[in-house]
Structure 1
Amino acid sequence: MTYVKSDISIMKFDSFNGNIISFSAGTAITWASPEIEKLKNSTMAVSDGQGSWINSLFLLGASFGPFLFGYLADKIGRKKTLVSMGCPMAMGFVVMALVKVVQVFYAARFVIGLAVGGLFTVMPMYIGEIADSSNRGTLSGILNILLCMGMLFSYCVGPYVDILIFNLILGVIPAIFMPLFSLFSVESPRYLIGKNEIDEAKKNLRWLKGKGDDVNTEIAAIETAISEEGNGGIGDLFKSSGNVRALIIASGLIFFQQFSGINAVLSNAQNIFKQAKTPLDASVCSMLVGAVQLISSGLSMVLIDRLGRKLLLLGSGLGVVLSEVPLGVYSVLRDRDIDVGSISFLPIISLVIFILTYNVGLGSLPWTVMGELYPSNIKSIGSSVTASFCWMLGFLIVYFFNSLIERFGLGTCFFIFSACSACSVLFVQFYCIETKGKTLEEIQKELNA
Structure 2
Amino acid sequence: MVVVDISKVFSGRIPQILATITGTLNALSDGMQYGWSSPIVPILESPSSPVKITNSDIVWIENTFMLGGLAGIPLTIYLLDKLGRKNSMLISAVENLIAWLLLIFASSSEVILIARFLTGIAGDCNFVATPMYIAEIADKKIRGRLGSLIFIMMLLGILLIYAIGPFISISASSGVGAAVLITQLLTFSFMPESPYYLLVKNRKVEARKALQILRASEDVDDELEEIAQSVEKENESRGRPFELFTVKSNRKAVIIMLVLNFAQHFSGVSVILMNLHMILKDAATIIPPSIIAIIFSVLMLVACALSALLIDSLGRKILLYSSCFTTGVSLLMLASYFACKNNGINVDSYNWVPVVTIISYAITFKCGLGLIPIVLTAELFPTNVKALGCTVSDAMYIIASVSSIYMFHFLQTRYGMHIPFFIFGCSCLLSGVFTIFYIPETKGKTLDEIQKLLKGQLMSVNGACGSDTDNERIPLLS
- Corresponding position of 2:111: 104
Q: 2 CA distance for matches of 1:17 and 1:115?
A: 17
Is 1:431 paired with 2:432? no
After the TM superposition, which residues 16-415 of structure 1 pair with which residues of structure 2 at under 5 Å, given as runs? 16-41=21-46, 42-183=49-190, 185-212=191-218, 214-230=219-235, 232-415=239-422
Q: Which has the higher relative contact order, 1 or 2, with Cα contacts under 8 A spaced 6 or more apart?
A: 1
CA contact (8 A) 1:84 1:178 kept: no
CA contact (8 A) 1:77 1:187 kept: yes
User: Secondary structure, in 3 states, of the residue corresponding to 2:313?
Assistant: helix
Q: 1 CA distance for matches of 2:407 and 2:326?
A: 25
Q: 2 CA distance for matches of 1:169 and 1:159?
A: 14
Deviations 1:105-131 (A, max 9, x none): 111100001111211111110011011
Instruction: Give the deviation of 1:207 after TM superposition.
Output: 1.2
Instruction: Kindly provide the amino acid, as one letter, of the partner of residue 396 in structure 2.
Output: F
The ranges of structure 1 where at least 4 consecutive aligned residues each deviate by more than 6 angstroms after the TM superposition are: none
In proportion to residue count, which structure has more helix?
1
Instruction: Kindly provide the amino acid, as one letter, of the partner of residue 210 in structure 1.
Output: A
| TM-score calculated relative to the size of structure 1 | 0.96
Instruction: Kindly provide the amino acid, as one letter, of the partner of residue 13 in structure 1.
Output: L
Q: 1 CA distance for matches of 2:402 and 2:277?
A: 19
Q: 2 CA distance for matches of 1:365 and 1:68?
A: 26
Instruction: Give the deviation of 1:234 after TM superposition.
Output: 2.4
CA contact (8 A) 1:32 1:55 kept: yes
User: Secondary structure, in 3 states, of the residue corresponding to 1:85?
Assistant: helix
Q: 2 CA distance for matches of 1:362 and 1:303?
A: 14
Once the two structures are overlaid, the 10-residue window that deviates more, 389-398 or 359-368, is: 389-398
CA contact (8 A) 2:407 2:420 kept: no
- Corresponding position of 1:3: none
Deviations 1:235-274 (A, max 9, x none): 0112221111011111211110111010000000000000
Instruction: Give the deviation of 1:409 after TM superposition.
Output: 1.1
Q: 1 CA distance for matches of 2:268 and 2:413?
A: 16
| TM-score calculated relative to the size of structure 2 | 0.90
Once the two structures are overlaid, the 10-residue window that deviates more, 83-92 or 165-174, is: 165-174
Instruction: Kindly provide the amino acid, as one letter, of the partner of residue 200 in structure 1.
Output: E
Q: 1 CA distance for matches of 2:451 and 2:73?
A: 23
Q: 2 CA distance for matches of 1:63 and 1:288?
A: 31
Deviations 1:352-394 (A, max 9, x none): 1111111011111100011000000000000000111101211
User: Secondary structure, in 3 states, of the residue corresponding to 2:165?
Assistant: helix
Segments of structure 1 that go 5 or more residues without pairing to the other structure are 1-5
Instruction: Kindly provide the amino acid, as one letter, of the partner of residue 430 in structure 1.
Output: F
Segments of structure 2 that go 5 or more residues without pairing to the other structure are 1-10, 457-478
Q: 2 CA distance for matches of 1:377 and 1:136?
A: 20
User: Secondary structure, in 3 states, of the residue corresponding to 1:307?
Assistant: coil
Aligned length: 442
Instruction: Give the deviation of 1:188 after TM superposition.
Output: 0.4
CA contact (8 A) 2:270 2:405 kept: yes
Instruction: Give the deviation of 1:143 after TM superposition.
Output: 1.0
User: Secondary structure, in 3 states, of the residue corresponding to 1:260?
Assistant: coil
Instruction: Give the deviation of 1:43 after TM superposition.
Output: 4.2
Instruction: Kindly provide the amino acid, as one letter, of the partner of residue 86 in structure 1.
Output: A
Instruction: Give the deviation of 1:442 after TM superposition.
Output: 0.9
Instruction: Give the deviation of 1:87 after TM superposition.
Output: 1.3
CA contact (8 A) 2:265 2:401 kept: yes
Deviations 1:400-445 (A, max 9, x none): 4222201121111111001110110111011111100011111111
Q: 2 CA distance for matches of 1:284 and 1:278?
A: 11
